[in-house]
Amino acid sequence: MHVSSFFLLFTTLLQTPSSCAASALLPLSPTTPPHGPRDASQSPQSLQHRPRAAPNAPSGNYAPTVVPCPAKKPTVRSADGLSPEETAWLKLRRKATMAPMTEFLRRVNIPGFDAEAYMAKAAGNMSMLPNIAIAVSGGGYRALMNGAGFLAAADSRVTNATATGALGGLLQSSTYLAGLSGGGWLVGSIFQNNFSSVETLRDGSPGSSVWQFSNSIFQGPKRSGFSIVNMADYWLDVADQVSDKRDAGYDTSVTDYWGRALSYQLINATDGGPAYTFSSIALDKSFASGETPFPILVADGRAPGTTIVSLNATVYEFNAYEMGSFDPTTYGFVPTKYIASNFSAGVIPADGKCVEGFDQAGFVMGTSSSLFNQFLLNNISSAGSNVPKFVVDAITDVLELLGENEDDIAQYMPNPFFGWNNGSNPSAGHMELDLVDGGEDLQNIPLHPLIQPMRSVDVIFAVDSSADTTYLWPNGTALRASYERSFGTIANGTLFPPVPDANTFINLNLNGRPSFFGCDVANFTLRAGQTAPPLLVYIPNAPYTAMSNVSTFTSSYPDAQRNDIIRNGWDSATQGNGTLDAQWPTCVACAALSRSFSRTGTAVPKACADCFSSYCWNGTIDNTDHGVFEPTFKITNMTTAEATSSGTRAADEPTPRN
Ligand SMILES: *[C@@H]1O[C@H](CO)[C@@H](O)[C@H](O)[C@H]1NC(C)=O
Ligand SMILES: *[C@@H]1O[C@H](CO)[C@@H](O)[C@H](O)[C@H]1NC(C)=O
Ligand SMILES: *[C@@H]1O[C@H](CO)[C@@H](O)[C@H](O)[C@H]1NC(C)=O
Ligand SMILES: *[C@@H]1O[C@H](CO)[C@@H](O)[C@H](O)[C@H]1NC(C)=O
Ligand SMILES: *[C@@H]1O[C@H](CO)[C@@H](O)[C@H](O)[C@H]1NC(C)=O
Ligand SMILES: *[C@@H]1O[C@H](CO)[C@@H](O)[C@H](O)[C@H]1NC(C)=O
Ligand SMILES: *[C@@H]1O[C@H](CO)[C@@H](O)[C@H](O)[C@H]1NC(C)=O
Ligand SMILES: *[C@@H]1O[C@H](CO)[C@@H](O)[C@H](O)[C@H]1NC(C)=O
Ligand SMILES: *[C@@H]1O[C@H](CO)[C@@H](O)[C@H](O)[C@H]1NC(C)=O
Ligand SMILES: *[C@@H]1O[C@H](CO)[C@@H](O)[C@H](O)[C@H]1NC(C)=O
Ligand SMILES: *[C@@H]1O[C@H](CO)[C@@H](O)[C@H](O)[C@H]1NC(C)=O
Ligand SMILES: *[C@@H]1O[C@H](CO)[C@@H](O)[C@H](O)[C@H]1NC(C)=O
């Protein structure tokens, strides 16, 4: 079939039933405000509540819009370097990390090491400076909350984060902050909300439904502020927003509904900020001036005609400037702001227009976490759910058209990489690019963007909340997936630190406390052009003061339980504010400095050598079967009475890890 007739047939098929259902109940005439009559009194609500990124979709709602192209038309570029925007931004950011890094190193105090003098020397040559990244894994709300605990402890703005034992300033010293699936909700929420601290988001504000996880995502926010009054209205709004996009001529999938629902909890704006775009982060003053890290979300490509996402799947990233992949398959990037323009072989035809507003923040967060589409489907259609029937019908109609095996996809149509790298890009011949949850290839920690040699990252703090074992604790599977992938042609020569098997992780307690991998740069055999990968600081979810192994499929958490899990994540990040190891903050600083030490030929201070001998995996393997892994409190049970914890999965639940 000819490509464009395929396109037409496909969009017609997709639009018909669900838009009929929607328009029967939600007549949208040109005089109706974009959000329907319920919001009329709030207009222009997006301007009233504008504390963050920006509701800059030209439509003013969830729909993408055809716009005249800028004088210099956007194009797809080869992945043979970083974008000029990222390169320019890095100059500002690296400089902005100097002061917080000096302060952090001074405070954690590495005996025998003069942090001020070292940093002063680096001021004349930025490449001496440690280049730090943080990666937050998938794992639904568990990953969001556990990851939040780490980020809170690393954030100098948070109460007590600069007290003895904590890591405040590490976040301010970091260049990159990547999230995947549930970890992407955390990173996305922080950046859509003006780089708010975890403490601010956790504590919320009157009338805001941000981080109110006690209200199930299926029930919607309870608060009367910001226009939401009841569950029916919430779902009507979600359906209304998605039909805005469909009515504008774009395919919609379950991911659109899921992403919209998520946004009510993650974006502090009326109706979950339907006009907030991911690319608007680039316009944020504090981001643009290099005062915040560089946020990245990760998703996997699903090759046309396949349903299995293997380790060979193309890994895509979204950043404020670009979306695309370093993998030798797609090997290209497109400006995030213009992703739904009709690119063909990397360019927009001479008479072609541009499209803006496809990169809705909720849609991008939903794409990275599309595995939860199934969770949405199960819950909205279950008996006892009060989701309006036409909304359930609209969502299930979408699914019937796509097919059951497609319930986890996010459709990027038109495919920005159409006709791009035809020889290697599996989607090059297709009008549609299908993306799925970034953890579907088992690489449940977003390390891929951070190991790219062009980014020259020195150290990655990898917070892992995967549910690998029977009791939903991680066992290193995510790291092993990335390690195994590094041997394939798909890795294009990018190395990854060696990691052992799952039993070794358990037997050596590598998943019971922080562990470092790839400590010794000399242990990497480098071919011409290859560089050693970053040092990996693995921070596994473990029970320090609360049982943080909550099921991926729990849809609501009382505030007390949310706070306990965030606090447990803090205790994991800080080893109980140093109670388990008073040297821990020093060891974090040593890990951050390690590659910089070798680059500059600086002798490793004794305190750091001690840290490395206690936290670096030294290559020992102990793969004897450990049996069921059931850790006990590493500090003590500090669970608040109001928090109810459920550490085991219900018998009928599937077993997703991310
Ligand atoms: C965003 O945060 C910065 C730094 O905290 C603050 O100065 C600025 O006013 C905030 N912007 C908005 C729009 O709230
Ligand atoms: C900057 O430092 C790096 C090592 O980190 C060194 O290779 C390079 O030559 C230095 N550049 C200058 C201009 O000193
Ligand atoms: C900060 O630390 C002090 C001293 O340990 C403690 O009393 C206080 O509760 C802490 N505050 C918060 C918000 O954790
Ligand atoms: C949410 O937005 C409102 C309105 O801009 C603001 O006053 C409030 O502080 C924000 N709340 C949080 C938790 O960011
Ligand atoms: C990575 O892949 C691209 C595209 O296939 C190729 O041009 C480039 O040389 C590769 N880089 C390395 C280091 O192999
Ligand atoms: C993109 O191409 C499709 C199919 O040919 C067409 O319907 C649509 O109007 C085009 N969009 C733009 C913005 O040019
Ligand atoms: C480790 O986790 C994987 C799932 O990610 C699981 O299949 C495997 O059985 C686990 N192994 C151990 C020893 O826990
Ligand atoms: C992945 O690609 C490698 C070649 O790099 C191939 O040997 C392997 O079979 C592929 N694996 C899958 C699951 O497709
Ligand atoms: C560590 O400090 C934080 C912040 O003050 C606090 O919430 C937490 O309970 C402390 N952890 C322990 C084990 O005392
Ligand atoms: C390597 O680590 C193992 C266990 O973690 C330890 O028993 C062993 O002594 C270490 N080996 C060396 C050479 O440090
Ligand atoms: C050193 O490299 C070898 C070969 O890649 C690997 O098997 C071993 O695990 C590495 N050791 C450490 C401690 O990473
Ligand atoms: C921890 O304490 C809470 C509240 O006191 C209690 O409900 C819970 O059962 C305890 N958890 C464990 C695993 O002992």
Identify the weakest region by mean pLDDT among 31-40, 120-129, 291-300, 645-654.
Answer: 31-40
Q: Is 125 in the pocket of ligand 2 (CB under 6 A)?
A: yes
Q: What is the pLDDT of residues 72-92, one digit of tens each?
A: 999 999 999 999 999 999 999
Q: Is 612 left (phi over 0), alpha (psi -120 to 50) or beta?
A: alpha
**Surface-to-core class of residue 336, CB atoms within 10 Å of its CB (0-12 exposed, 13-18 middle, 19+ buried):** buried
Contacts of 89 (CB under 8 A, 6+ apart): 288, 290, 294
- The rounded Å distance from CA 608 to ligand 10 centre is 17
Average pLDDT over residues 405-415: 90
Nearest CA to ligand 4 atom 1: 268
Closest ligand to C-alpha of residue 418 is 6
The predicted pLDDT at position 425 comes to 98
How far from the centroid of its chain's Cα atoms is residue 54's Cα? 19
Distance CA 442, CA 438 (A): 8
The predicted pLDDT at position 221 comes to 83
Q: What is the pLDDT of residues 10-64, one digit of tens each?
A: 222 223 223 232 222 222 232 333 332 232 233 333 333 444 688 999 999 999 9
Q: Is 579 in the pocket of ligand 3 (CB under 6 A)?
A: no
Q: What is the pLDDT of residues 454-496, one digit of tens each?
A: 999 999 999 999 999 999 999 999 999 999 999 999 999 999 9
Return the ligand 10 atom nearest residue 622 CA: 4
| 658 has a pLDDT exceeding 60 | no
- The rounded Å distance from CA 437 to ligand 8 centre is 20
The predicted pLDDT at position 228 comes to 52
Q: What is the pLDDT of residues 89-112, one digit of tens each?
A: 999 999 999 999 999 999 999 999
The predicted pLDDT at position 225 comes to 47
Closest ligand to C-alpha of residue 269 is 4
Return the ligand 10 atom nearest residue 508 CA: 5
| 201 has a pLDDT exceeding 90 | yes
Q: How many CB atoms sit inside 10 A of residue 352's CB?
A: 15
Distance CA 547, CA 6 (A): 51
Return the ligand 9 atom nearest residue 635 CA: 13
The predicted pLDDT at position 232 comes to 80
Distance CA 591, CA 535 (A): 7
- The rounded Å distance from CA 620 to ligand 11 centre is 9
| 258 has a pLDDT exceeding 80 | yes
Return the ligand 3 atom nearest residue 160 CA: 1
Nearest CA to ligand 3 atom 13: 159
Picking from 185, 226, 272, 211, the residue whose alpha carbon sits closest to that of residue 557 is 211
Distance CA 450, CA 445 (A): 10
β-pair partners for 66: 355
Q: Is 121 in the pocket of ligand 2 (CB under 6 A)?
A: no
Distance CA 553, CA 639 (A): 21
Q: What is the pLDDT of residues 554-606, one digit of tens each?
A: 989 999 999 999 999 999 999 999 999 999 999 999 999 999 999 999 999 99
Identify the weakest region by mean pLDDT among 22-31, 376-385, 522-531.
Answer: 22-31
Instruction: Return the higher-pLDDT residue of 650 and 639.
Output: 639
